[in-house]
A and B are shown apart, each in its own frame.
Chain A
């Protein structure tokens, strides 16, 4: 990711910036052609934009998970926990206390980071399988709490409804193209911060911990501190994703944050190749769109709803067997 203004990069940048225009343009074209009885049968621009926003969101989450899984080499099976924290922090603040989004979002990030540290503290000594199990248990506990504690959430099954869209100077950001630019800005920010971290002293320390914790310690790296930092940053990004999704979805409920969501994000990171920002994004783009195509009712009939996750599971197995370094990156 060097700062090169090559024609390819510029075209790509313009494409990303004007994607909503393209989508609505296609809408207009198919509407125009339908006057002459030519039907393109394209999905509507709004629908496509929602899918793209969701794919960007997964990219953001995959980058966040990649910090713990890829950089420090610890398997985090409970990433969805921070996503949940962010979602419910922002959702409850906005829907029940009427706090504006611009305050609720930072609070969601901070709360995510706090929980990341909280979970990190007892797990600093743990590695490998035990770390994975504790993270899994943590996310499951959070899931049970939002599912059961009605007094806190306000609805059964963790249901929070009518989360208001953000507004600024009287403009309400509730259109799909608003959300597109919204998540694009957040994603760019996250990529920038993570990239800078990766290529700094901190990032090198993380990789050193991944490669050999004891060697890193003996080279003077404060392993506990850097691990805690990784947990906090990763969790903060999860919280950010949750904060965004609360207003994007309007209603959130507990099943939205189930354990398998963690595994899906993990799949994305692994598919792209752990330890690479670009890999995490590619993985999210591939699996995110695959997930939409395989969504029950699109090409898979409803009664075979399990096929989607069956395919994800097989992808994980095959990847580990034939390409443990990920699809995108070739590991030397």
Chain B
């Protein structure tokens, strides 16, 4: 029982992380119909940048986290500016191939800079509350580390903030307008390129947070963006790509499914579970669990 409870908690934490990454995929797809393969790499850079800020520059964690978000936001914006914006009117296949090239380049850039060796956030530089022995004891012998509470809470807060941003602010309105019809939005005086850039910045910043969260629990490697990125993408597909609330719920479902699958079926198939869910959703119900079938699907 205690084990099951801990698995569910693990799944929730992982789900929150996936949700944060999935939002980045789904926002970009919603507006420019591009699967931004390199988003997973931004997430990986988020973890590495925070790690470098803490270990090399000795910046405290609470400043390194927002700094990493800002830097990754800039990175995401640059990526859009350099690679995707020139292809706005090119065939969709070109943009998709560019995204794959970007992912390949960034992942191996990270491998060159930091080598393939897994790195860890130094425990002495982290706030004491994040150490794994500081945990709440739950009935039945299960423990809930404060670190996980922090991750779930932060993910929740960011999600709610994003939701408010999209539905209550002017820029959110502009984003929704672009998602519905970019040309019409442009004619109404919305600077679509600016809106797209902001979408990339927000998605990348959230991805960076997710990267730091993974760094708190696991190791940081150049391939983490690829593996976690695919699972998060599966979450976005499950929730109905382009649908932000769907991405959040999809993330949690994938997270729990992955942890339960790894715990009770076989740990070698940890990632395979996300792939299977993703393929099944695409083949059976491409609009996802929570998506309405829109006109412009793939």
Contact = CB atoms under 8 A, between A and B. Distances in A.
Interface of A: 73, 75, 77, 122-123, 126-134, 136-138, 140-141, 144, 147-148, 260, 263, 266, 270, 303-310, 312-317, 320-321, 324
**Does more than half of chain B's interface fall in helix, strand or loop, or is it mixed?**
helix
Interface string B62-101: 0000000000000000000001001100111111111011
B195 to A, nearest CB: 21
Closest 10 CB pairs of A and B: A316-B101, A313-B105, A306-B111, A313-B104, A306-B108, A148-B268, A310-B108, A137-B275, A128-B298, A317-B101
Contact of B282 (A130, A148, A304): A130
A267 to B, nearest CB: 8
Given A134-B283, A147-B268, A316-B97, A309 B275 contact: no
Contact of B283 (A122, A308, A314, A324): A122
Nearest to A315: B101
27 contacts: A77-B100, A122-B283, A126-B283, A126-B286, A126-B298, A128-B96, A129-B33, A130-B286, A130-B298, A132-B96, A133-B279, A133-B282, A134-B279, A134-B282, A141-B276, A148-B268, A306-B107, A306-B110, A307-B108, A310-B104, A310-B105, A313-B101, A313-B107, A316-B101, A317-B105, A320-B90, A321-B87
Interface string B101-115: 111111111111001
B269 interface: yes
Contacts of B93: 73, 75, 128
Given A148-B268, A320-B101, A129 B279 contact: no
Given A130-B298, A144-B272, A314-B105, 16 more contacts: A126-B282, A126-B286, A128-B298, A130-B282, A130-B297, A133-B282, A134-B282, A141-B279, A144-B269, A266-B97, A303-B115, A306-B110, A309-B104, A315-B101, A316-B100, A317-B101
Interface in B269-298: 269, 271-272, 275-276, 278-279, 282-283, 286, 297-298
Contacts, number: 128
Interface residues of B, number: 47
Interface of B: 33, 35, 83, 86-87, 90-98, 100-112, 115-116, 222, 230, 233, 237, 266, 268-269, 271-272, 275-276, 278-279, 282-283, 286, 297-298
B108 A133 contact: no
Contacts of B276: 137, 141
Contact of B92 (A77, A128, A136, A263): A128
Contacts of B97: 75, 266, 270, 316, 320
